[in-house]
Structure formats: structure tokens, C-alpha cells
Amino acid sequence: MSANSANISASSAGSKKSLKTFSDDIWKNKTAKINAELFTLTYGSIVSQLCTDFERDFKKVNSHLSAMGYNIGVRLIEDFLARTALPRCDSFTQTSEVISKCAFKIFLNVTPQVGNWSSSKDTFSLFLDENPLSDFVELPMDAVKELWYSNILCGVLKGALEMVQMDCDVWFVSDVLRGDQNTEMRVKLNRIMKEEIPAGED
Amino acid sequence: MAIQTILVINKSGGLVYQRDFIKTSAKLSSNEYLILAGTLQGVVAIASQVTPKALQISAKAGSKTANEPSQLIPYVGSLGAPTQNLSDMGSFMGQDFFNESFASWNQSGLKHVTTDQLSMFLYQTLTGLKFVAISTQSTTNAMAVSIAENLLRKAYCLYADYVMKNPFHDPDMPIKCELFDSHLAELVGQL
Amino acid sequence: MSHKIINPSTSVPPANAAGSTGYDYTIGPQQTLPNSSAQSVASTLAGTRSVYHESLHPGAHGAHVSVAAYAFLFQEMVSQARNASKTVSEIELRLHRHGYHIGLRLLELLKFRSSVTPGSGRSFFHKSGGPAATAGDAVGGAGSAPSGAGAGGAGSIGTAQDESLSSSITTMKRRDLRLLEVLQFVHGPVWLYLFDRASDDLVKSSERENEYMIIDNTPSITRFISSTNVQCDFFVCGIIEGVLDLASFPCTVTAHSVPEDKFDRRVVFVIRFDQEVLEREALRF
């Protein structure tokens, strides 16, 4: 998640496909799939184990989930790039499109809405209408105000973006599990780590 | 085109993987491979720096002059696709890992080196990882370059599956994954 | 979730609670808090009220995520277990425990889903409208009803959408009582649910009376992990053991890598039933 461009000149020989068509095709024809409930249950098992391990200190659980996500993100980005071969984004707006339409699509088969841009165009929100991590989940009452159940996603995005030289902060602002109207993640670009961009790119 | 060796170099220029597919008498020592990796890392960077001034030289040396992001590497079909065993595509699906032409991330850096005896091809990812293939054939033609790029992207796909998804592999450390070994050998063997 | 703390669930719209009769297992536990606080709590949790309702339905199953996404999650779970453990067996134990929790849930869920008459009650299940979409208006009452029967229709759960699943179940599937039946259940439906295919074989050990083996030639979730001295398939052992334990067939399950011919990743899950299971088995019929 990082790469690409809206004028996705790459990756589609000659024909200019939209990012959506491109991603749908990868999801449909190039990606092996597994039961989403096994995924949900496995994640649930991880979260509940953490809640026990940290004696229901949900702040610790949140940060641990984020750290786990980070470890995943730095690995997952390689899969994403190998699979899509998308070129580097020209702008953060493109990055947001790639994350929502491509990355979320080909890994989780959902497409969050992008919105709520800050005026400086360095922060946007992802609205998750569907979230395969939290299907079937009902937070226990002691967790409802503190636990960000899907916090692992923040870490994944942060880790993945960092590997393509974008230093970002990612956090949840609301979650339907906590009774909010929607599930919203914020992604803020701190800076592009130019010094770390591999030689050979322009 | 026979592949003699495949190398993987991490983003800081460290050699994390090296494997010979043809037994040759002149085998480099592991130390020499490390030096080769470090040298390549430096040369890629230098090549990208000299690009604007020395377009012709770099073109001769084989590095592509960028400024043309739309430059696509054509997909070379039926190259090393594990057709006999479709179920073994890992997290990928279908006949092949990908089936469309793709853009190169490495636009101004070194992409291949040729001597009278061999050619060396270099594929760099957006994260700075480098895959290097050394071929026993001296060639610079466009077809050979496309084949090499396709091959190395497939190696990258295998890396994504059998290295990145292995919890016992630590990032940036030498790769010791027998599944990566065997799938890579299969891929190279099908050339 | 945690074994220790059982919190009262608040998954039902407060207004309707009064009119409902008894416990409906397809809806879940009902509001039990005093009304004053109930309103605020319920409104916080409103979005989740349909959790039981929808997830029990057979139609709920069918969504997929990519194998890659799962593999990365699994990879990280193993890494965590590895960091937290000192010995190989401790890692395996942790993976086993994760699987066990899943197994416990599967037995009832799969039996329940297979009891629902196919095609019936499907109308209420809107994949597109999922739990998230209904969050907003759920406070009023019949949240997922697009007709807006919500706020006004206190006490009536009459809309087609809100009809409980129980009406589409004529006979509840029994849990299996015989050893072979329950093993078939694991070999077939459980494997099918988890990995989209039945396991490759189910055999009885020729050496030990209480030993059975389930064989998977191409284990899905560990296929990216080069063999090490840690057997990551212990996660699946946990699932099997969870299912069997809850079905009252206490046992221990272990995983062994036994390559054969072209299946170099072949794994044999050895199920060793406790003695009491065999004694019970011998008693009946």
C-alpha cells in the first residue's frame, strides 16, 4: 500500500484500467482465499488472550495490538508490492486511494471509504463499513470504553507505509463496537523519508 | 538462458540470500559474495546519480534512463509457472503469479551488467530489496531483460509467501527457509 | 473471551425487552439492567445488538479474506507465542490454546447452522446492510428493519427482518454421541468449514485402542512455514480438541509431520481419547 497512481499507467498493458477494476481482478483471479470466519475467530482468540494476559488493562492491549500490526505491516507490504507491482504514489491522495481500493480489497475484500481530509491534505480518514476483524464481536462492558478492538489495523498501515518511506501515524477515532455511529481510522502523514528512498527511483 | 546464481540483498546492502543453481568450478567464497552485494548496492546508487549527465554511458552499461514512468516490462507468459501443480501457488491463484505487464521501480539505477561470459540482472523493489540473477549467457537483448525481470518478480512473489509469512524468519536477516529454496529452485528449473 | 468475567449482555433493544417472552437462543441474552442506566448503556452498545441474530444464520458464512491476510495474522500469532515462550513445547501449548478457544465455538455454531432449514428466514439477512449499517437507528428498537418499525413499534418484533431464526428450525441437530460420528464431524464439516475441503483421511490406529488419526496432506495455514522444530499445526490440534472436548469426548491431540510420496508437508493429527470415552462407548447398545 503505497505505490501506484490514479492514472495507473502501470500494471495494465496499454489499457488504462481503473484502480478498482485492477484490484477487483487481483482479488478475484489471483488471490487464494480462506474462510473469513476463521480469520475473525483467530483474531478474536488473539485479542481475548491479550486481555487475559494483560489482566484487562485495555490500554496495554491497544498498544500491543498496534505493535503486532506493525510487525505484520512491514512484512505484508512485500506481499502487496509483489502482487500488484504498483508504482510509487505521486501524492498522499493517491496513497489513500491505493490503501482503500487496493490494499483493503485484496487482503480483506472490503473497500473502506476515504474522507474527512484535513485542509493541509496530510490527514485522511478511512471509514470501515465492514470489518472482517470484528464480525460477531460484542465488547464486554469493561472494555467498551477503552479497547480499540481492531487496533491491529493501525499498526499494519503504519508498518507498511513506513517500509515505503512514509512516516505516518494511524489511529482509531470511533468504532461501532463502542457504540459509535461508524468505524473511523485516521491516517496522518508526518513526512516522507526521502533519505531512505532506494537509489534508482526518480 | 541458464541461471547460475540468485542473490537477495536487503535494503541496507547486506546479502541475505545466495544460491547457486549450476555447479561451477569458480565459486565465490561467502565473503566475496558479501562484497559483491555491497558493491552492487553502491553501484546502483552511483548509476542513478550519473544518469542526467551521462545518459549515453549509462544506456550503454544497460541501465535504463528513466523519466518515463510508463515504461513497462512486458509479461512473459508460461515462464516458470508451476503448471503441473496448480494447488501449490501459495497465496496466489491461477496459472501464474501475475499476468500483466508491470512498471519497473528501478528507473535510474543499475539494472544489468554484462561480460563476455555472463550477464547479471537486478530487480529492485519499492522497499529497497534487491533480487539479483546471474545468467551464464552474455546477453543484453530486450527479451532476455524482460525474462529476467519477470523471473525476479516471481522470485519476489515467492519471497512474499515463503519468507515474509514465515514466523521464524527475522526481517533483514539471512534467509533460511527451505520452502523458499525449493520453490525458487523449481522456478529456475522451469526456465 | 475471558473465563473469569461474565458481564451481563445488553444486546437487545430496551423498549422491546419488556414484551419479549423468555430466552430466545437465536437472539441472545436479554437486557437485565435497571431501566435508568439501561438506556445509556444500551445506546452505547446498540450497534451490536444483531450480533447473535445475524452470525448464527447459515447465510452469514461465505465471506472470504485472502490467504495472505490470514497467513500474516497467523505468522504474527506464532511470533508472539515464540517471544513469550522459553521452550518449544510452550510455544506449541500457546498455539494450542488459541485453537482450543476456536474449537469450543465451532461445535455449537456448525451444528446450529446445519439445523436451519435451507432457504428459510433468509430474508432478514442482508449482507449489504451488515451490523455496521444498522448501528445508527438501532437504539429505537427493531434496528435492522428498514421499514422504520423501530421507535414506534415497541413490543412488536413483527417485521420479517426481525423474526428470530428459531422459526426456521424444525429439528435441532443433536450433537454426536458416538465416537465415530463425532470424528466424522471433525473430518467432514469442521474441516470443510475451516479449509474449504474435508480432511484427506480418518483412520484408526492399529496399535492403540483409543487412538485415531486425521490426515491432512496439504495443511493450509502452515503451508508457508518451513519446517522447524516447532510444530505450528498445534493450532489446529487445539481446534480439534476444543470441538471434541465440548462434545464430551475428552482427548489430547498432537500433530506430527509425516511426509509421504509427493506430500512433503503431510501432517497427521493423532487423537488420543481418554479412557472414560472408550468405557462409555462400550456401555451403550
Q: What is the pLDDT of residues B28-80, one digit of tens each?
A: 888 999 999 999 998 888 887 776 655 544 444 444 433 444 478 888 876 65
Q: Which tops the pLDDT comparison, B123 or C122? A: B123
Could you tell me if residue A4 is inside a domain? no
Cβ contact C82–B168 (<8 Å): yes
Give the model's pLDDT for residue C26.
60
Closest CA to A26 of B96, C267, C54, C93: B96
We report the CATH number of the domain holding residue A150 as: 3.30.1380.20
Among B21, B11, B16, which Cα is nearest to B34's?
Answer: B16
Any chain A CB within 8 A of the CB of C220?
A: yes
Give the ipTM: 0.91
Question: Does residue B84 surpass a pLDDT of 80?
Answer: no
Residue A14 belongs to some domain of the structure:
no
Question: Distance from CA of residue A136 to its chain's centroid?
Answer: 20
- Contact partners, residue C111, CB within 8 Å, separation at least 6: C172, C173, C174, C175
A202 confidence band (pLDDT: 50, 70, 90): low
- B140: pLDDT confidence band, cut at 50, 70 and 90? confident
Measured at the CA of C41, the angle between CA C40 and CA C45, to 5 degrees, comes to: 120
> Tell me, what's the pLDDT at B55?
54
Q: Domains of chain C by range and CATH?
A: 16-48 (no CATH), 98-114+176-284 (3.30.1380.20), 121-167 (no CATH)
Pick A154 or C148 by higher pLDDT.
A154
A172: distance to nearest CA of chain C, Å? 16
- Give the per-residue pLDDT at B69: 45
> Average per-residue pLDDT in chain C?
74
Question: Given this model, what pLDDT does residue B64 score?
Answer: 41
| pLDDT at site C39 | 44
Inform me whether the pLDDT recorded for A101 exceeds 60. Answer: yes
Q: What is the pLDDT of residue B52?
A: 61
Residue A42 is assigned to a structural domain of this protein: yes
- Cα(B134)–Cα(B2) distance, rounded to whole angstroms? 9
Q: What is the mean pLDDT of residues A28-42?
A: 93
Residue A49 lies in a domain: yes
Q: Which of A43-47, B107-111, B183-187 has the highest mean pLDDT?
A: A43-47
In a domain, A183, yes or no: yes
Say what the pLDDT of residue B62 is. Answer: 45
Contact A115, A99 (CB under 8 A): no
Q: Between A99 and A8, whose confidence is greater?
A: A99
**CB contacts < 8 A (B, C):** 50
Asked if pLDDT for residue A74 goes beyond 90, the answer is yes
How confident is the model at residue B180, as a pLDDT? 94
pLDDT at A152: 97
| Domain ranges, ordered by start, for chain B | 3-22+29-189
Give me the DSSP letters along B61-115: HTPPP-S-TT-EEPP-TTSS--TT-GGG-TTB-SSSS--S-EE-S-SSS--EEE-
Are the beta carbons of B91 and C68 separated by less than 8 Å? yes
pLDDT at C35: 47
Domains: count for chain A: 1
Was domain B3-22+29-189 assigned CATH 3.40.50.720?
Answer: no
Residue C204, pLDDT score: 94
- Higher-scoring residue by pLDDT: A196, A64: A64
Report DSSP state, residue C136.
G
Which among B53, B48, B77, B42 is positioned nearest to B63, based on CA atoms?
A: B48
Residue of A nearest to C60 (CA): A37
In-domain check, residue A20: no
Is residue A45 in some structural domain? yes
Q: What is the pLDDT of residue C252?
A: 96
Domain encompassing residue A133: 35-192
Partner-chain residue, chosen from B49, B93, B160, that has the shortest CB–CB distance to A31: B93
Segment A33-50 shows an average pLDDT of: 94
Question: Which residues of chain C register pLDDT less than 50?
Answer: 1-2, 9-21, 33-49, 121-162
Question: In Å, how far from its chain's centre is CA C131?
Answer: 18
φ and ψ at residue C278, rounded to 5 degrees: -65, -40
Q: Which residues of C touch A141 (CB under 8 A)?
A: 7-8, 10, 41
Q: What pLDDT is stored for residue C49 in this prediction?
A: 47
Share of chain B above pLDDT 90, in %: 40
pLDDT of residue B67: 40
Give yes or no for C5 touching A (CB within 8 A): yes
Q: Is the dihedral of CA A138, A142, A146, A152 positive or negative?
A: negative
List the 155-184 stretch of B: residues with Cβ below 8 A of A.
156-157, 159-161, 164-165, 171
Q: What is the mean pLDDT of chain B?
A: 83
- Answer yes or no: do C225 and B91 touch at CB < 8 A: no
